[in-house]
A and B are shown apart, each in its own frame.
Chain A
Amino acid sequence: MAQHMNLTLKVWRQKNDKTKGQFVTIQAKDIADDMSFLEMLDVVNEDLTRLGEDPIYFDHDCREGICGMCSLVINGRPHGPKYGITTCQLHMRSFHDGQTIVIEPWRAAAFPVLKDLAVDRTSFDRIQQAGGYVNINTGGVPDANTIPIPKRIADEAFEAATCIGCGACVAACKNASAMLFVSAKISQFALLPQGQTERYERAQAMVDQMDAEGFGNCTNTGACEAECPKGIKLSNIARMNREYFTAKFFREEDVHTHN
């Protein structure tokens, strides 16, 4: 049998990015401990709707930890008190009856609040558009293993590619730096033969876009790596730096502007 609990939520409510937000205290009653955190918010929202109040806005989509839409800083931690999971994978059994839970949006200049807990992460999209792609002719399905890639390298590229673009790294970073995200997106191509064509352009273009979006500067605290639901490693940032400095100091490739 599921245990039930009553919780006090301190939720950030904000109309839009033009207005100032504030914390509002809301009671969450009779929450089953096998609910996910988002289901708990669903229950709260149903109550609010029934009372004729505006439900709490929060981002979500897949609810199985693969899309990167859910966010929330819960009691001072992106994606809540556990490591290696997203908010949709967080169960209410991680909390106890009578607990007060503070829920805030990702806070970064480059992630403006759309409403309440939902933030605009299109800055990530623009970084991707600046260079996070490869130009290939799709053609037919290629045979497997036509391009030999050492397993170690393939694994490393794959690990980098598991980044779901959630932005928890930015949220966790005291500098609101996006370097873990950007480095994962650069690494997944830099490691593979298919990514070589745009390799050095990519590093420059994506770093430029990252800076233009107003993300902060990494101070290597490692908070991003600790809070990343996909375990993206700091060594990716080292790789990004290598790619970028190599491009800058040893290659002279121009970067296209895509607008």
Chain B
Amino acid sequence: MSNSKPVLSSSLGRKLIMSLTGIFLCTFLIVHLIGNLQLFKNDEGYAFNNYAYFMTHFTPIKVVSYLLYASIVIHAVYALVLSIRNKAARPVNYAQFDGKANSTWNSRNMGILGTVLLVFIATHMQNFWWKYHNDQVPYIEYQTDLATGNTTSRVLEASEFNDYQVTVDNDVETVKARDLYKQVDFAFQNPLVVGFYVLAMAALAFHLIHGFKSAFQTIGVSHKKYVPIIEFIGVWGFGVIIPIGFALMPLYFYFIK
């Protein structure tokens, strides 16, 4: 008598890892989109920059963000491992293979779509995350008259900035912050960046139209009532609303701002 193989070295175990990390990344997208909607506010980035500070300094969120980075890495590494094994499972390829007769293009090309997304994530983090964490973004000061609610802003020189700071004096609130909003505006003036972001969001749409429902299938969900709901959310939520919402951000800064 011997024990069965450990779950994580089995095909199903590896698939489960893909599924769980994938779903976690999907939930992150919802939060990320809702938070970033503040970019559309016409407030010189007041709300967005405060939010950016909160997201990078509130401990529970920091913990979740490390889980998130880990999930991205694990999802990508397992995808690579599984792809290599899948390649080995068919050493000689078909001369003719009519994939479209039995499956969708995106379901067969999750690896390509995922690679586009991985490059995107690296670029995206370099553009904003890295610059924000390494003092490579401009600084800004907001002064809000608490009586009237009017906010004015001015650019701060690096020498005038110590750290994020909120002070209230004489009914005037002063906020000194890193101006990530300006950095976003700056990055999205480059048509190449805008084009790449929009392309990446198209890849995201196709990745998730298959990926979201696929993750639940792997966990073992099969239910007459709930699977159609999952499929609906996968297509309309993660395949349409979320990618379009994100894609509108670079387009907004390029064409409208």
Contacts and interface: CB of A to CB of B under 8 A. Distances in A.
Contacts of A255: 1-4
A75 B98 contact: yes
A108 B12 contact: no
Nearest to A204: B4
Interface residues of B, number: 44
Contact of A221 (B103, B220, B222): B103
B90 A107 contact: yes
Interface string B168-194: 000000000000000000000000000
Contacts of A249: 7
B96 interface: yes
Given A77-B102, A174-B86, A221-B103, A256 B1 contact: yes
Name the prevailing secondary structure of the A interface residues: mixed
B88 interface: yes
Given A208-B4, A222-B102, A244 B88 contact: no
Nearest to B210: A220
Contact of B11 (A21, A108, A211, A227): A211
Contacts of B222: 234-235, 238-239
Given A76-B96, A172-B102, A239-B220, A217 B90 contact: no
A73 B88 CA distance: 19
Contacts, number: 156
Interface stretch (B48-56, B104-112, B247-255): B104-112
B218 interface: yes
A76 B15 contact: no
Contacts of A235: 222
Nearest to B6: A248
Contacts of B110: 219
A174 B90 CA distance: 8
Contact of A174 (B2, B13, B99): B99
Contacts of B1: 254-257
A248 B2 CA distance: 14
Nearest to A242: B220
A110 B95 CA distance: 19
A241 B99 CA distance: 25
A73 to B, nearest CB: 6
Nearest to B224: A235
9 contacts: A81-B101, A109-B91, A174-B99, A220-B217, A221-B104, A221-B108, A222-B104, A239-B220, A245-B16
List 8 tightest A-B contacts by C-beta distance, closest first: A216-B89, A76-B98, A242-B220, A226-B102, A238-B222, A175-B86, A204-B4, A76-B96
Interface of B: 1-5, 7, 10-16, 82, 85-86, 88-99, 101-104, 107-108, 110, 210, 213-214, 217-222
